[in-house]
Homo-oligomer: A and B are copies of this chain.
């Protein structure tokens, strides 16, 4: 195949995932197959690196290095929280012209898709041929159109294993355990806490998502009931849980620090977990209450990756190169579920993904708003790859001698 000659530029934006380097490796290796590609560049720190012309030349990276890099979590080309507007995109565009960059592949979430959209529009207006492909990634799993997002499966595996472990710990030394999970507006990752449950009384017993407002009363009622039933209680709560006015419950504790997208800081503090623990300590007679905030480990822990997620992240990178370079088209790579479990990749217009976000559909949330449904487990189960299984001892109980009734 031959087409427009020029360079390929690859960059990563937003929060890292465990598999985002797979997408870069996939795109680089695939881009090398096209004769019209003159060089392949990688921007350091996303779009900020583009306007600063901070580029690696990836054309001759060894395949060993590329594959070892692919297996390494977090954005290895480094990332940015910059969210380009039209003026910023014009700067990017100038750099692309200066370096004869004809293909721009950007790994990121819906903000990055929006950057791609603006770049695509500006290049059309200017009559400069620039193909722009958005390569999806986000642990939040909140992109539209696609069945799910690369990065989610591995983060979901981490969360599932974390809660399965906390459940075992809490069985051994009973009490209430609260785990706070990432996810500002979408509860997918928090819901993943349920994926490694095995025995009927395994936790998490309660799951609170940003999609359903939470009152202190409901929370305490739920906890008291679960604790009475199991003699213990495991709670998974999203960092983004809101009160009945739609305000993030965590917001009051973070001093209102905002990122460049205007989002209030939710992660990197244990305040929400401690607040919920305080509610239980003051509102019930339960003595042992512990709260963990899973924090940044969810998206970057070394050695916890879904093999399914790994493969798919690699493939969306390959597909982005094929669609942009081979088919000479702009768009965002998306996934369609075509079997149990099988995926097809397709290209969707940038404006169908840009800026918008998806929440958990109602069918994935139980009626009480404190748990997930079988439909969610069927949806998310295949994405984590195989999970370790916790096993209890299966042994008869001995008759008492001294305390027999």
Interface residues of A (CB under 8 A from B): 12, 15-16, 41-42, 52-58, 60-62, 65-66, 68-69, 71-81, 94-95, 98-99, 160-162, 164-166, 168-169, 171-173, 177, 196, 267-271, 273-274, 277, 289-297, 299-304, 387-398, 400-403
Most buried by B among A78, A388, A398: A398
Give the residue name and chain of the B residue nearest to A39 (CB).
Answer: B398
| The one of B79, B168, B291, B391 that contacts A300, using a Cβ cutoff of 8 Å | B168
A153 to chain B, nearest CB (A): 14
- Judging by beta carbons under 8 Å apart, are A169 and B52 in contact? no
A374 to chain B, nearest CB (A): 22
| The one of B54, B99, B296 that contacts A169, using a Cβ cutoff of 8 Å | B296
Give the residue name and chain of the B residue nearest to A168 (CB).
Answer: B74
- Judging by beta carbons under 8 Å apart, are A301 and B165 in contact? yes
User: What are the residues of chain B within 8 A of A391 when measuring CB–CB?
Assistant: 65, 68-69, 71-72, 76
Given contacts A268-B291, A295-B292, contact A300 B395 (CB under 8 A): no
Given contacts A270-B269, A388-B302, A389-B68, contact A56 B296 (CB under 8 A): no
Docked CA distance A54–B98 (Å): 77
Docked CA distance A58–B394 (Å): 8
User: What are the residues of chain B within 8 A of A267 when measuring CB–CB?
Assistant: 290
Docked CA distance A334–B15 (Å): 45
Docked CA distance A56–B291 (Å): 31
| The one of B75, B289, B301, B390 that contacts A172, using a Cβ cutoff of 8 Å | B75
- Judging by beta carbons under 8 Å apart, are A57 and B271 in contact? no
- Judging by beta carbons under 8 Å apart, are A81 and B173 in contact? yes
A-B contacts, 8 of them at CB < 8 A, read: A73-B165, A77-B393, A79-B172, A161-B301, A161-B302, A168-B300, A270-B273, A290-B296
User: What are the residues of chain B within 8 A of A168 when measuring CB–CB?
Assistant: 16, 72-74, 76, 300, 302
Going nearest first, the 6 A-B pairs with the smallest beta carbon separation are A270-B270, A268-B290, A292-B295, A74-B168, A68-B391, A165-B300
Docked CA distance A290–B75 (Å): 18
Given contacts A75-B172, A302-B388, A388-B302, contact A292 B268 (CB under 8 A): yes
- Judging by beta carbons under 8 Å apart, are B270 and A61 in contact? no
User: What are the residues of chain B within 8 A of A177 when measuring CB–CB?
Assistant: 296
A167 to chain B, nearest CB (A): 8
A279 to chain B, nearest CB (A): 14
Docked CA distance A350–B329 (Å): 74
Most buried by B among A73, A74, A162: A74
- Judging by beta carbons under 8 Å apart, are B394 and A78 in contact? no
- Judging by beta carbons under 8 Å apart, are A172 and B270 in contact? no
